[in-house]
Amino acid sequence: MSAQLIDGKSIAESLQSEIAAKVEARVAAGHRAPALATLLVGDDPASHVYVRNKRNACVRTGIRSVPLQFGADISQQQLLAEIDRLNADPDIDGILVQLPLPAQIDTTTVIERIRPDKDVDGFHPYNLGRLAQRLPVLRPCTPYGVIEMLKRSGESFYGRRAVVVGASNHVGRPMALELLLAGATATICHRFTRDLADEVARAEIVVAAVGKPGFIRGHWIAPGATVIDIGINRLDNGSLCGDVEFDVARERAAWITPVPGGVGPMTVSMLMQNTLTAAATR
Ligand SMILES: Nc1nc(=O)c2c([nH]1)NC[C@@H]1CN(c3ccc(C(=O)N[C@@H](CCC(=O)O)C(=O)O)cc3)C=[N+]21
């Protein structure tokens, strides 16, 4: 049996239409359009796809995009001064600093400088802490997108065994917190996990967030499982692939997300949602 594909791209598009309607209603009620400032430092080629997709999503939802670009040699102090300016600007609702940053800049210092109520990435310790305490405000876009995608495909979480592979601050950890909030039994696996194949084989929901092409072997997947692939790996031939050995996994899973066209577009839609939320709670 071959798994059903979860069409993240089309779910993300429906979500953007709903966000567009809400933005339009706000504007009709006399508010200005929500505004998102994005700060791109240097030019990491991998950032371009994401930046382009964000720009398109802003156009589709009616969110005002304020793109700011800086040379790779900008000092930390200069970048922090930009954030301070945007923090204080009443016409800006959301601030996103594209990661990774060049080596002279300390990422934690930068993230912690963004006002929590403008932190549309949901990376600030305030927002992660709120999620950990079941009181989410601005939620990290990728994990939030995975939950929204599964809800909209009619999947339930209560009591289900979910295994997240990857324990990063921005994806794996908040993913486990989201699954826990949704009622799943959440396990996080990482580089010191002793028997990864066993952990994955026990999972009814597998979420891969490793950043290594084909790292999750298809034969590990339990028959009938739901497989969510967060990996976005660019191969030498220019194509994108996920962390899951897709062709084998899809013959065992009941539901699986493709790469591209799965979680990536959902991340972008949740960024639009967070920007709208930030504007509405201003
Ligand atoms: N502060 C910050 N926040 C982020 O959320 C963030 C970041 N920095 N740095 C880079 C990563 C990567 N990321 C992507 C999100 C969506 C797609 C995406 O839309 N992918 C599509 C497009 C594929 C294509 O057209 O090639 C897909 O998977 O179908 C890609 C990459 C967000 N990131």
Return the ligand 1 atom nearest residue 54 CA: 19
Same fold, 31-115 and 141-264: yes
Q: Which CATH entry fits the domain spanning 31-115: 3.40.710.10, 3.40.50.10860, 3.40.50.2300, 3.30.365.10?
A: 3.40.50.10860
Query: Is ipTM > 0.90 here?
Result: yes
For residue 43, what pLDDT is reported? 81
Is the pTM here over 0.90, yes or no? yes
**Angle between helices 263-280 and 8-28 in degrees, nearest 10:** 20
Report the C-alpha gap between 124 and 128 in whole angstroms: 6
Nearest 5 degrees, angle CA 83-CA 20-CA 271?
A: 35
Answer yes or no: 98 catalytic.
Answer: yes
Ligand 1: which of 53, 121, 123, 144 to mutate, judged by most atoms within 8 Å of the beta carbon? Answer: 53
Q: Whose CA is nearest to atom 20 of ligand 1?
A: 264
Residue 274 token pair: 């967070």
For residue 73, what pLDDT is reported? 97
Ligand 1 close to Cβ of residue 39 (< 6 A): no
**pLDDT tens-place values along the chain, 282 residues long:** 799 999 999 999 999 999 999 999 999 999 999 999 999 999 877 777 788 899 999 999 999 999 999 999 999 999 999 999 999 999 999 999 999 999 999 999 999 999 999 999 999 999 999 999 999 999 999 999 999 999 999 988 999 999 999 999 999 999 999 999 999 999 999 999 999 999 999 999 999 999 999 999 999 999 999 999 999 999 999 999 999 999 999 999 999 999 999 999 999 999 999 999 999 998
Give 49 Cα–ligand 1 centroid separation in angstroms.
Answer: 7
CA terminus-to-terminus distance, the chain: 49
Answer yes or no: 44 catalytic.
Answer: no
Domain residue extents for the chain: 31-115, 141-264
Q: 11-48: string of b/e by CB count within 10 Å (b at 16+)?
A: bbeebbeebbebbeebeeeeeebbbbbbbbbbebeebe
Arch. (CATH architecture) of 141-264:
3-Layer(aba) Sandwich (3.40)
Return the ligand 1 atom nearest residue 100 CA: 9
Return the ligand 1 atom nearest residue 9 CA: 29
Q: Token match 């999750």: residue?
A: 216
Active-site option among 121, 229, 243, 273: 121
Answer yes or no: 22 catalytic.
Answer: no
Q: Which of 143, 106, 118, 109 is nearest to 35 (CA)?
A: 118
Q: What length does the chain have?
A: 282
For residue 128, what pLDDT is reported? 98
Neighbours of 49 (CB within 10 A): 14
Q: Whose CA is nearest to atom 17 of ligand 1?
A: 264
